[in-house]
Amino acid sequence: MVRWIIFILIYSLLSIYGFQAIKTVTKINWLHYLFIAVAIIIAGNFIYQFSIGSEGRVLNPAKSYAFGFLLAFMSLNLVIVPILLGEDIVRSALGLYDKLVTKESFYMPSRRKFISQVALGLAAIPFSSLLYGMYKGKYRFRVLDYTLHYEDLPEAFDGYRITQISDIHSGSFDNRKKIEYGINLINEQASDAIFFTGDMVNNKSSEMLPWADMFSQLKAKDGVYSVLGNHDYGDYIDWPSPDAKAQNLADLVDLQRTMGYDVLLNESRFIERDGQRIAIMGVENWGKGGFKKAGDLQKTKANVNPDDFKIVLSHDPSHWEAEILKDDYHYHLTLSGHTHGMQFGIEIPGWIKWSPVKWRYKQWAGIYEELGQYINVNRGFGYLGYPGRVGIWPEVTVITLKKGSNNA
C-alpha cells in the first residue's frame, strides 16, 4: 500500500507540471479535462494491472501495455518538468528581486507561453516515439545482410547462406497478420539453414501453442536448428512442483521438434556437402549476471574436431567473451540474441549505433570480431516488457559465408 501512495504522489507531481504546460499553451477547457482524464486512466490501469495476481515475474500483455502507456505518459512529463521547474526558479528569483528592490509584496511573474510550447514540443518526441513503438515499431521487421570471409571455410560451403532469428517471446504477440508477414520474410531469404537462438516463450510452453502452426512453416534445405534461452526454462514463474517445471521444459522441447526444429541441448550436428562438413554446435543458455548457466561448451564439442568449421548457437552473448573466445578450439562464428538491443536506441548506419544496453553488454547488436572469431548478436524477433520498439527494430539476420580473404 505504501508503494502505491509514493507512486501516486510522484506521478501526481509530475503530471501537475504537464497540466501546467497544457494550460499555459491553450485555454481550451476540454483539452485540460482530457489531459486529466488520460492521466487518471493510465495511472488507474497501471495500479490495477500490477495489483492483481500474476503467474510469473515476466509481464503478460495486459501488464506490458499498462507499463507501456505509463512509460510514454511519464516521458512526456519528465521532459516538461525540468524546463518548467527551471522557469519557476527564474520566476521566483525575479519575484524576490522585485520585492527586495521595490519593497512591495512578493509577486511571481506569469508563465511564458513560449517556454511551455518549447517544453511540449520537446516532450512530444519521446512520447510519440514510444506510442509509435507500441503501435507499429514492434512489428517493423527488417532484414540485415552480412558477408563473412574465412580462409579455412570448406570449398563446398563457399556462398552458404544462413538465416538467424532470436527471442521470439511468443507470449507477447497480439497480431497474427504481422507475425505471418515476419515468417514469410524469413522464408523469402531462401537460406540454406535457419538458426533460432533461444527465448521462444516468456514463461510457459503453452504460450507458443497459438503460434506453432505459423513458426512450423519455417523451412530451409539443411533444416531449422534451435537452442534454449533463459526464458525457455520457466525460471520466472512459481511452479506448483519441480516436476511441473521440468514437464514444461520437456513440452517446449517436444513442441519445437514437432514444429520441425532440431533442438540442440549441449550437442552438435554436421551439415555435409561434397564430402566436406561444417559443425553446428548448440549450447544451452549460459549467461553472466545471475542468468542460468546450463550451457556446457565442453560437452557440446565432444564429437567436433579442432579443424572443423564451427558455428556456435548460444543465446547469451556474454558467453562468447567469457568462455568461447578463451577455449582451445577456434569457433568461427557464434550466433546469439538475448539483449533485444533493449528495444530502444538510435541506429543510423555509418553514423551512430547506441542503446543503453551497451552499458551492460559489450556485444549487444550486430557483428563483432575478436581473435579472428565472429559473433552476431541478433536484436530479436519479438519483444518483452515494454510492448514495442523504438529505433531498434525486430531483426532477421542473413549471413553469407565466403571462402577467402575480405580483400580478395
Q: What is the pLDDT of residues 270-283, one digit of tens each?
A: 999 999 999 999 99
The pLDDT tens digits for 63-119 are 999 999 999 999 999 999 999 888 878 777 766 766 666 656 655 556 788 888 999
171: left (phi over 0), alpha (psi -120 to 50) or beta: alpha
**What global pTM score does this model have?**
0.93
- What pLDDT score was predicted for residue 109? 57
User: Looking at per-residue confidence, does 360 or 94 come out higher?
Assistant: 360
Predicted confidence (pLDDT) at residue 58 exceeds the cutoff of 90: no
Give the least confident one: 107-111, 199-203, 259-263, 314-318. Answer: 107-111
- What pLDDT score was predicted for residue 52? 85
User: Looking at per-residue confidence, does 101 or 24 come out higher?
Assistant: 24
- What pLDDT score was predicted for residue 55? 73
Mean pLDDT of the chain: 93
- What pLDDT score was predicted for residue 36? 96
How does residue 146 score in pLDDT terms, banded at 50, 70 and 90? very high
- What pLDDT score was predicted for residue 289? 87
The pLDDT tens digits for 180-207 are 999 999 999 999 999 999 999 999 999 9
Count Cβ neighbours within 10 Å for each residue of 171-186 and write b for 16 or more, e otherwise. bbbeeeebbeebbebb
- What pLDDT score was predicted for residue 31? 93
Provide CATH 3.60.21.10 ranges for the chain: 142-403
User: Looking at per-residue confidence, does 337 or 87 come out higher?
Assistant: 337
Which CATH superfamily is 142-403 part of?
Metallo-dependent phosphatases (3.60.21.10)
Share of the chain above pLDDT 90, in %: 86
